[in-house]
Amino acid sequence: MGTLEWVAVVLFVALAAYAVFAGADFGGGVLDLVARGPRREAQREAIAGAIGAVWEANHVWLIFVIVLLFSCFPAGSAVLSQALFVPFHLLLLGVILRGVSFVFRSYGPHRTVLLRRWGRLFGIASVASPVLLGVCLGAVSSGRVRVIDGAVLGAAAAVLSPLSVALGLFALAVCAYLAAVFLTVETEGTLADDFRRYALEIGGAVVALSGVVLALVGREAPHLWRGLTEGPGRAVVSLGAAAALASGGLLLTRRYRAARAATVVQVVSLLGGWAAAQWPFLVYPDVRADQTAAPQATLVAVLTTLIPAALLVVPSLALLFWVFKARPDRAR
Amino acid sequence: MNVLTAARAQMEVSLAFHMVFAAVGIAMPILMLVAEDRAIRTGDPGARALSRRMARVTALLFAVGAVSGTALSFELSLLWPGFMRVAGPAIGPAFALEGDAFFLEAIFLGLYLYGHKKLSPRAHWWTGVPVAVSGLLSGAFVVAVNAWMQCPPEGTGVTAEGLVSPSPWAPFLSPAWVNMAVHSTLACTASVGFAVAGVAAAALRRGDTRPHHPHALRIGMGMAAVSALAQLVSGDFIAKMVARTQPVKLAAMEAHFETARGAAVVLGGVVDSAEGRVHHAVTVPKVLSVLAFGDPAAEVRGLNSFDRALWPNVNIVHIAFDVMVGCGSVMALVALVWGWFSWRGRGSGAALPRWVLSCIVWASPLGFVALEAGWIVTEAGRQPWVIQGLLRTRDAVTREPSAALTFWGFSLLYLGLGVAVVLLLRWFGRAEVSDHHGDAATEGELRDGHA
């Protein structure tokens, strides 16, 4: 494997980690918004408890993705930033409002009206952000963004294409599903039942939307269709579909831990199928990763900086999740 | 508003906003750890209450810093695709290291803020140490990028194919890096120290007897005083470096138009760039030559010896520079006054005189003012270049016409967030902290107080 492929692998790992961990945090916000029934406040507390300590760390994966893109594929990332100028700005708005509304609600005065308003903003921003991320993925795969003589054309058509919109909604559903499944593990009793019910309902939406997305890929993005139905892409997507069915079955039989594992496999595989089909294009069809890569020395230097990351950040993350997701409270 | 103006304005607003929260993220964890260490060792309830309050403030402001910093990492590409196309490979490793450090900071801050219930008091304290260390490191790494833009190391060039760089580690080879990293870190510790001490001094002055205030005053002023005094030395290093590496910027900072030996320093005044004069300024002979080159007879090049197309906005750079130096000088003076009275009162536990408290209150916002003014000098003073001598700002900017819209949108957003943060901090100040050790910092331990 060459240096460029290593960079691609690292980029994918960061993107997948962001999708799973931050995706679940966004999904938590979605569930906060749609929480209903007599236990909705308890549900909201469980959601806040699940994401409070970890959302900022999970958020850093996005910064890694951006830094890897602009340092390793500077020309490609310049095209991305022009083609996605508007959706990226809206995404930033979503990311900012999600973060601040969550901390303002957690740390501010516990007055009902304030809690409700910050909570509403938190939910709306948590809905908008994954939709925009999905739209961006759709736009770079749609084939509608063209780079002709250095000018970036067709951005609006790409962002608003049916495929991009459908991918946005699909990303939203997947995030909410992740959160609901994760919360079945992190809660008990009737609360776990509530999240199971949400997960099964949202899982139905995920299945329906994946059908819509596949149909649109077949119609609008033949290159992506080929990548998803042939070669390694096909194997990865099949794995994802199997994991999706498995996670649904495991939820039905209340095997929550196994369902969580299956859901993670599902999300990583679906994203992996997309990545395999998209590679080597950053923006199909005019921007190829290999043609816009930074000099070899830069790629090596960036990969070198990831060694301290791997040595320090990974065990620290493991500690964070172990303390908050596996360790009981101290006895008083 | 044309796209270049809009993009510059959006970048300025975003940086200016983020700067405050970044400074808190760098400096507040240090104070938080000192306070908690004191609480653990002595069991002092005031120190404990202070460490709790600081944890809350850090949690709130760090989150705002994290998301506004994310916005900046996108905005670099969104607003300056021409810059990132050239600079991406050179600044990538520094940004990746900054990302590593920021990752650790976020992870351990999560452990620190939510770990009360899960960890022993000392283990909890130790989770704060990586927060403080990686906060300092992430600041130093990201300043390396700016140092590279101010002063790219020898052998750096821009060709039609892109960047020519002597090394992928170029930002760390910039002669400006260490100087700038020290200067900006001290600016952060001085600002936050003065702000914390100022809040405590104001409370003590109005007779608020809650026990965390004396601790906050002492710890905050301790950090602020050391930083403000060290900053005088660091500032001198920077001035001499700028004189060598960015003579146009130095001339603009000092509103120095005519090349002269034994050049006078110009304080204040209104710059008339067209006429090449400064009205209503105070001048002190020979001082500029000493500050720039350590020699009263040294020649200092004036703006008129450079092509006018290479001048930054002299008025802005000069005023911002004087504001920064003025604030820094006042802070150093207040630091000395505080140091003298604390030293005299040591042991006896005597309170500081009321007028000293007033000085601290009045000086408390100056650190942030100086921090912002200093970055204006750095950034506006580098214009018309985005990478000094290599790439002009106007050649780096996006062509996206909606930049005017995003500028107004983000300005309004940050204005709203700024107001919300101020209101929340005021509420923090009034609210009571429950003293029950073991509460998670999030579980509503603050109640509306009557103080």
Average pLDDT estimate for A113-135: 95
- The percent of residues above 70 in pLDDT, for chain B, comes to 95
B25-66 pLDDT per residue, tens: 999 999 999 999 999 999 999 999 999 999 999 999 999 999
B119-173 pLDDT per residue, tens: 899 999 999 999 999 999 999 999 999 999 999 998 888 888 788 888 889 999 9
B/e letters for B200-225, b = 16+ CB within 10 Å, e = fewer, are bbbbbbeeeebebbbbbbbbbbbbbb
Contact call for B93 and A93, based on CB within 8 A: no
Asked if the C-beta of B31 comes within 8 angstroms of chain A's C-beta atoms, the answer is no
The DSSP code for B296 is T
CA torsion sign for B169, B171, B174, B179 is negative
Contact call for B424 and A104, based on CB within 8 A: yes
Instruction: Count how many pairs of residues, chain A against chain B, have C-beta atoms within 8 Å.
Output: 222
Average pLDDT estimate for A69-96: 93
A2-24 pLDDT per residue, tens: 899 999 999 999 999 999 999 99
B278: in domain: no
Nearest to A103 among B60, B108, B115 (CB): B60
B434: in domain: yes
Asked if the C-beta of A252 comes within 8 angstroms of chain B's C-beta atoms, the answer is no
The boundaries of the domain holding residue B415 are 3-245+313-447
Asked if the C-beta of B91 comes within 8 angstroms of chain A's C-beta atoms, the answer is yes
Question: Where residue B439 falls among pLDDT bands split at 50, 70, 90?
Answer: very low
Nearest to A70 among B84, B113, B410 (CB): B84
B59: in domain: yes
Contact call for B424 and A72, based on CB within 8 A: no
ipTM score of the complex?
A: 0.91
Average pLDDT estimate for B186-211: 94
Question: Where residue B345 falls among pLDDT bands split at 50, 70, 90?
Answer: confident
Asked if the C-beta of A71 comes within 8 angstroms of chain B's C-beta atoms, the answer is yes
Q: DSSP of B22-53, one letter per residue?
A: HHHHHHHHHHHHHHHHHHHHH--HHHHHHHHH
- Between positions 263 and 322 of A, the ones with CB within 8 A of B are 294-295, 297-298, 300-302, 304-306, 308-309, 312-313, 316-317, 319-320
- The percent of residues above 70 in pLDDT, for chain A, comes to 98
Report the distance separating Cα B197 and Cα B363, nearest Å. 10
Q: DSSP of A265-308, one letter per residue?
A: HHHHHHHHHHHHHHTTEEETTTEEHHHHPPPHHHHHHHHHHHHH
Average pLDDT estimate for B295-310: 92
B154-166 pLDDT per residue, tens: 888 888 878 888 8
- Residues in chain A with CB shorter than 8 Å from the CB of B112 are none
Average pLDDT estimate for A144-166: 92
B203: in domain: yes
Nearest to B66 among A54, A56, A110 (CB): A56
B266: in domain: no
B280: in domain: no
B259: in domain: no
B293: in domain: no
- The percent of residues above 90 in pLDDT, for chain B, comes to 78
Residue ranges of the domains in chain A? 3-326
B395-408 pLDDT per residue, tens: 999 988 899 999 99
Shortest Cα distance, chain B CAs vs residue A147, angstroms? 14
Which residue of chain B has the CA closest to A308?
Answer: B100
Question: Where residue B350 falls among pLDDT bands split at 50, 70, 90?
Answer: low
Number of structural domains in chain B: 1
Asked if the C-beta of A325 comes within 8 angstroms of chain B's C-beta atoms, the answer is no
* Helix pair A256-278, A222-229: axis angle to 10 deg: 130
The DSSP code for A311 is I
